[in-house]
Chain A
Amino acid sequence: MMRRKKSTPRRNTLPLHVVAWIVGAFVIVPVIYAVIGGFKPTNELSQNPLGLPRTWMTANYTDVLGSHSFWLQLWNSTFIAVLTTVLTVGVSALAGFVFARFAFRGRELFFTLFTAGLMFPFAVAILPIFVLLRSFGLLGNPFGVILTQAAFGLPLTIIILRGFFRSIPGEVEEAAIIDGCSPFGFFWRILLPMARPAIATVSVLALVGSWNQFMLPLVVFNEESSWTLPLGIQQFQGQYASDTARILAYLVLAMLPALGFYAVAERHLVGGLTAGATKG
């Protein structure tokens, strides 16, 4: 609250730091417990959960890294997340373009239909989606998950992109048209490159949403070979219920992609996730 450098007396910020440290410990101790716990044998973990391991045992981590299923789940999650993102953003950009730059009868009606989609909780539709995907033969197929995730991602993505497309002045479009650009040419070569920040935001939203999605893959995938990481983690916990240290190692390795992405794209991620949700 005191932004001015001079004229405000320097206050003692120690109590603030103490509070921040306590909250920080609350957040970070579970993660540290998992990281260090992965280096212990399980019987040591139950006696000494927080201390450093007596000997750093890497077997838990190397076992997971050496297992075929972990890499397969990582690949499945990545494949589904990337395709979901491309599909969501691509389809939404086309629709957002029309909603932003064309005036036509029924436009507001269609747009309202999409915005109403924000109100539909995913859980409400999961049973019919299951029945529907089964009748299309898409159960067990990654595209069953990809298409559904993309469909539910449309409302927010269209709203954000449409807002951004509208903010680009009409003069830019007129100039492009005079230079002989088709509507698609304008969209592809001028509008999309200009909208890069908005595209980055919605891509982050779609990517993280897909990466963390649990309910949909849970009902769509039966075969272990199509499992995503969240399904794999749940299954791994069931399989090694008594081997806590091994589960911790699996958890830590499964956390790394998300945390790594967060470390690299922190600004986009925070901006996208908070503003994305408040827009919804």
Chain B
Amino acid sequence: MTTLITGPEAIKLPAPAPAARGRGRWVTIALFLLPALVLFLLLVVAPILVAFYASAFRWNGFGGLPTNFIGLDNFTRLFKTEIFAQDLWHLLVLVLFSVVVQLPFSLAIAMLLNQRIRGRALYRVVFFAPYVLSEVITGVLFSLILSPGSGLANHILSVFGIESEWLADPATVMPSLFLVMTWKYFGFHMMIYLAGRQNIPNELIEAAQIDGATSWKTFRHITLPLLGPTIRISVFLSVIYTIQLFDLVWILTQGGPSHSSETMAVTMMDWGFKRSQVGYASAISVVMFLLSLVFALVYQRLVMRRDLAGATTSMGGRR
């Protein structure tokens, strides 16, 4: 996304300052750029390249670089496993849930808090608050609330005659996980939508109302299309986040019961750190990377293409 924002503006170079033209110019550039470059190459670029390299070896992570080359065997082995198929399925389920339930819910709340109702500033502050808490705090809190037997969820729902094992039951673990994700992240998407809504001139909406459009029609034909770019960004963020989902799952279920809530990152950590099969785990990392990359490229090309003229930049314009 960002490369695209910065692309067009990169053409017009600011005039270099007079004093920066002399001999010392390159020294200055090098000295200023070097710390960032070293840090970035060493701890971001190199590890990713190593992950690619290691994915072609059988390697326990010890003793210098790996030597036991096995080509694409790690990948063919991975693609045959039941667990990896489940990881992909869970990714798909969570993305679908997010796009069909969580984001529309966030959008509805954003529209609600865009009305002139008393206390809306307070509502916004409260709804965003879970996003500020760490995944670990959220995860531990909800593992207690959803604990079978004495947890708060069963206590409240027993009024309606509902009782469940929640995270301990393969049938309910994914909806439970999704519930926790919604609790933590809907306020974030709500804030993005509110910011996007504020970029729509009120005159447009008022004009529609003067022409006799109902609230729903105004929303459907004016607000929603104009929020398109914002919505597409929030879908993008949601998918990219879900591909690498780890913390919440690790705390809530460790991927269980019997892999029924496992994600790719959990599988990767499991093989890499618990079983020291770093080569095989690296293959999972590479798949995660390629999935993110392909999704980002395809999505930007097909879905966000027409937004790049103004919408994305106006979101970041304040800063």
- What residues make up the interface of A, taking CB atoms closer than 8 Å to B? 1-4, 13, 16-17, 19-20, 23-24, 26-31, 33-34, 45-46, 49-50, 91-92, 94-95, 97-98, 100-104, 108, 110-132, 147-148, 150-152, 154-156, 158-160, 163-164, 166, 170, 173-174, 177, 181-184, 186-187, 197-198, 201, 208, 211-212, 214-215, 219, 229-231, 233-234, 237, 244, 247-248, 251, 254-255, 258-259, 261-262, 266, 269-275, 277-280
Q: Contact at A258–B133, with CB atoms within 8 Å?
A: yes
A1 to B15, CA, bound (A): 44
* Interface check B36, CB cutoff 8 A: yes
- Decide if B292 touches A166 in the complex (CB within 8 Å): no
Q: Is A125 within 8 A of B6, CB to CB?
A: no
- Contact check, A163 vs B319: say whether CB atoms are below 8 A apart: yes
Given the interface pairs A154-B39, A233-B136, the reply to whether A20 lies near B117 with Cβ below 8 Å is yes
Tell whether, in the assembled complex, residue A208 and residue B188 are in contact, meaning their CB atoms are under 8 Å apart: no
B130: interface (CB < 8 Å): yes
Q: How far is the CA of A259 from the CA of B18 in the complex (A)?
A: 48
Contact A34 B319 (CB under 8 A): no
- How far, in Å, is B67 (CB) from chain A's closest CB? 14
B311 nearest CB across to chain A (Å)? 10
Decide: A30 near B16, CB < 8 A? Known: A124-B286, A128-B51, A280-B2.
Answer: no
* Contact of B117 with A17 in the complex, beta carbons under 8 Å: yes
Question: What are 29 A-B residue pairs whose CB atoms fall within 8 Å in the complex?
Answer: A1-B111, A1-B114, A1-B202, A20-B109, A23-B123, A24-B123, A27-B187, A46-B150, A92-B36, A94-B33, A94-B35, A123-B265, A125-B44, A125-B47, A126-B269, A128-B51, A130-B61, A181-B19, A183-B17, A183-B24, A183-B28, A214-B136, A215-B269, A231-B136, A262-B132, A273-B188, A274-B192, A277-B192, A280-B2
Whether the pair B32, A98 counts as a contact (CB closer than 8 A) is: yes
Docked-complex contact B136 and A234, CB < 8 angstroms? yes
Task: Determine if A275 and B117 form an interchain contact, defined as CB atoms under 8 angstroms apart.
Answer: no
| Chain B positions 1 through 42: 1 when the CB is less than 8 Å from some CB of chain A, otherwise 0 | 111011001100111111110001110110011011101101
Nearest Cβ in chain A — how far from B17, in angstroms? 5
Question: DSSP majority for the A interface?
Answer: helix
For B85-122 the 0/1 string (1 means CB < 8 A from A) is 00000000000000000000000010111111111100
Chain B residues with CB under 8 Å of A103's CB are 13-16
Q: With A174-B17, A198-B319 known to touch, is A121 a contact of B240 (CB < 8 Å)?
A: yes
Q: Of all chain A residues, which has the CB nearest B49?
A: A128
CB nearest neighbor in A for B19: A177
Which secondary structure dominates where chain B touches chain A?
A: helix
Q: Is the CB of A123 within 8 A of B285?
A: yes
CA distance A2 to B5 in the complex (A): 33
Task: Check: B178 CB closer than 8 A to any chain A CB.
Answer: no
Q: For residue B44, which residues in chain A have a CB less than 8 angstroms away from its CB?
A: 117, 120, 125, 151-152, 154
Least distance between B30 CB and chain A CB atoms (Å):
9
Q: Closest Cβ of chain B: how far from A148's Cβ, in Å?
A: 5
Contact with A along B224-248 (1 / 0, CB 8 A): 0000000001000100100110110
A123 touches B281 (CB 8 A): no
| A152 B19 Cβ-Cβ under 8 A | no
- Check A121 against B289 for contact (C-beta < 8 Å): yes
In the complex, which of the residues A110, A119, A150 contacts B293, with contact meaning CB atoms closer than 8 Å?
A: A119
| Least CB separation from A231: chain B residue | B136
**What separation, in Å, do the CA atoms of A230 and B19 have in the docked complex?**
49
**Contact residue among B39, B50, B112 (Cβ-Cβ distance under 8 Å from A131):** B50
Which chain B residues border A114 with CB–CB below 8 Å? 36, 40
Q: Assuming the A-B contacts A1-B215, A27-B129, A34-B141, are A147 and B191 also in contact, with contact meaning beta carbons closer than 8 angstroms in the complex? A: no
A124-B48, A127-B54 given. 8 additional CB < 8 A pairs? A125-B43, A126-B269, A127-B61, A127-B281, A159-B6, A177-B18, A255-B133, A279-B1
Question: Smallest CB–CB gap between B127 and chain A, Å?
Answer: 6
Q: Closest chain B residue to A250 by CB distance?
A: B140
Q: Quick check: B33 and A95 within 8 Å, CB to CB?
A: yes
**Contact A111 B10, beta carbon cutoff 8 Å:** yes
